[in-house]
Amino acid sequence: MKAFFLFIGILFYQLANADSPVKSIDTPLVVHRCGDFIITGQGDNVEWDKTKWVDLTKLNAGGKADKTKFKILYSSTGIYVLFNSDDEKISTDYRNDFENLFTADVVEVFFHPQPAQATYFEYEINPLEKELVLLIMNTKGGFGSWMPWHYEDKKKVVKKVNVNGGEMKTGASIQSWTAELFFPYQLLSGFLNTPPVSGTKWNANFCRLDYDTGKQIMWSWSPVEKSFHEFKKYYSLQFE
């Protein structure tokens, strides 16, 4: 019995002193504040040093265990997101914005500023720098989406993709690709709880799809299982 209690005590001590706390849907990821900067696709601006990489989890079997990670910051004008994805091949031939990018290689961002409502923002970008921007209405028994109106000027996402180890073209052999993004608050102005201020909490998810094997391989930050639209499982963000 003494050995049992000693084991439990050691276990709790290790958990309390672990380098990375146990993930919890109720433990927010802190979004640090930054100054505005120019998007290049390289993720090399010093502002990115204000935050750490966060790994995505591979959800299903098949394909290589390529690492995918993201960073997030916010400024007085919008939100910055940076993805880095190991990859072997560009498996998409979508060369136009607002196509069905999710049926090929892509990374995705989901912002859910008002978790009590079943409405959230979805953004997708592929290795060819093509994007899909959606407002999702995910109510019980129904699912719908809308694309933005007058998507231009200060309402438009600033996006840059950089491909490492190969060319930016369909079927090219590569080593990795990065997507650097800026989401202006004007694009998200229709949501409650925006723009965020210090202490604001949102739910969110960051995801990846890869089709190098011919089948869909999924990565996710939050613990979804079959779909990135399981919004009740999204993790929390808290703005610094």
Please give the pLDDT value at position 22.
40
**Rounded distance between C-alpha atoms, residue 119 and residue 128, angstroms:** 28
pTM equals: 0.89
pLDDT digit string (tens) for the chain, length 240 residues:
433 333 333 333 333 333 333 455 668 999 999 999 999 999 999 999 999 999 999 999 988 999 999 999 999 999 999 999 999 999 999 999 999 999 999 999 999 999 999 999 999 999 999 999 999 999 876 778 999 999 999 999 999 999 999 999 999 999 999 999 999 999 999 899 999 999 999 999 999 999 999 999 999 999 999 999 999 999 999 999
Structure tokens given for 22 = 């146990």
Whole-angstrom distance, CA of residue 71 vs CA of residue 151: 25
Class of domain 28-239: mainly beta
Q: How far is it, in rounded angstroms, from Cα 57 to Cα 221?
A: 6
Q: Residue 86: what pLDDT?
A: 98
Domain boundaries, the chain: 28-239
How is residue 222 written in tokens? 């939050």
What are the residues whose beta carbons fall under 8 Å from the beta carbon of 134, sequence distance 6 or more?
121, 122, 123, 145, 146, 147
Dump the DSSP string for 116-136.
Answer: TSSEEEEEEE-TTS-EEEEEE
Burial 67-98 (b: 16+ CB within 10 A, else e): ebbbbbbbbeebbbbbbbbbbbbbbbebeebe
∠ CA 198-204-206, nearest 5°, is 125
Q: What are the Cα distances from residue 193, in Å, to 102, 116, 120, 199?
A: 28, 11, 12, 11
How far is CA 202 from each of CA 93, 106, 188, 192, 238, rounded to the nearest angstrom?
33, 23, 13, 10, 7
The reported pLDDT for the residue numbered 142 is 77
